[in-house]
């Protein structure tokens, strides 16, 4: 299909930019805008903050960055009470969303602090997060095997800095059930082993379905299971700062293409025309060579 990009317009909602904007996360918005404008696409960015209405039918893309616990607490009530429902609708209807670090955690079921306090998420991603004192810091590389990109472009690069450990929900639900098995019965040990085996299988199934990618270098979601991020419909959550999209321009273009497909009823294999970027190959090689 011959689609005139100069006639296209995309609207991006940048949620809580004054609260959720760590480690250069605004570079993701800049990358999307520039890569759209270089192709002639009109690209509008709307900062949406506390008290602002989020109209899910107006926006084509949403970006949510990372923030410190204090900043997340400041906007949490507004997110849950005012924006959670339209955000869930946007996501379920195939809207394109990228969430980084704290923004990723807020899309999950809950965040549990070291003191045991639960902070509710909007509940759209099948993950939960448990705080710990040790931070996971350093360069990260992971492979998004399920994405329809060239093999070299499925390798994603970023910088992680998080103390929250994120797990897929199936694992927590099934392990809680296994750990609560009543003791003092002859079948307890066998039941416990069986329940934990089922929990492991459920976790693997959930990871296979919803993980953004497999870790090559770094920690990822929790430093244990080898997975990074979560991918549900056209929503992507990741711990990769950096900024993430400038380091992974093919993925930025993929997000733009998804938004255009949805808005203008384009074919599911529609891709943006390539840009001339002679230095990009060297940049990606340097990123691949970075130490953790």
Show which residues are catalytic: 101, 241
Order of strands, sheet of 42-48, starting from the edge strand that comes earlier in the sequence: 42-48, 9-15, 61-64, 96-100, 235-238, 230-232
135 is in an annotated binding site: yes
Under DSSP, is residue 278 helix (H, G, I), strand (E, B) or coil? coil
At 118, which helix (H) or strand (E)? strand 118-120
Closest CA to 122 of 108, 103, 112: 108
Contacts 24+ apart (CB under 8 A), 283-292: 283/247, 284/152, 284/155, 284/157, 287/139, 287/141, 287/157, 287/247, 288/141, 288/155, 288/157, 290/139, 290/141, 290/157, 290/217, 291/139, 292/138, 292/139, 292/140, 292/217, 292/218
**φ and ψ at 36, to 5 degrees?**
-75, -50
Cα separation, 152 vs 266, whole angstroms = 25
Q: Which residues define the annotated binding site? A: 135
Q: Which residues define the annotated binding site for substrate? A: 135
């Amino acid at each position: 299909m011959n689609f005139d990009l100069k006639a296209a317009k995309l609207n991006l909602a940048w949620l809580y930019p004054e609260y959720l904007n760590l480690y250069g996360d605004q570079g993701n918005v800049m990358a999307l805008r520039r890569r759209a404008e270089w192709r002639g696409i009109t690209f509008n960015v709307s900062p949406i903050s506390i008290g602002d209405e989020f109209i899910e039918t107006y926006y084509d893309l949403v970006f949510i960055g990372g923030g410190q616990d204090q900043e997340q607490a400041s906007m949490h009530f507004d997110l849950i009470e005012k924006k959670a429902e339209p955000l869930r609708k946007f996501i379920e209807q195939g809207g394109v969303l990228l969430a980084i670090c704290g923004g990723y955690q807020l899309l999950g079921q809950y965040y549990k602090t070291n003191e045991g306090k639960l902070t509710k998420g909007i509940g759209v991603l099948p993950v939960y997060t448990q705080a710990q004192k040790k931070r996971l810091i350093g360069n990260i590389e992971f492979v998004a095997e399920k994405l329809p990109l060239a093999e070299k472009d499925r390798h994603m690069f970023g910088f992680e800095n998080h103390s929250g450990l994120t797990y897929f929900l199936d694992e927590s639900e099934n392990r809680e059930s296994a750990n609560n098995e009543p003791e003092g019965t002859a079948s307890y040990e066998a039941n416990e082993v069986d329940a934990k085996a089922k929990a492991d299988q459920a976790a693997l199934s959930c990871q296979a379905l919803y993980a953004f990618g497999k870790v090559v270098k770094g920690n990822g979601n929790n430093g244990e299971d080898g997975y990074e991020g979560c991918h549900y419909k056209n929503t992507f959550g990741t711990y990769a700062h950096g900024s993430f999209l400038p380091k992974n321009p093919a993925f930025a273009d993929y997000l733009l293409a998804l938004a255009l497909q949805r808005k203008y009823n384009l074919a599911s294999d529609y891709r943006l025309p390539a840009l001339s970027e002679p230095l990009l190959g060297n940049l990606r090689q340097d990123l691949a060579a970075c130490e953790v």
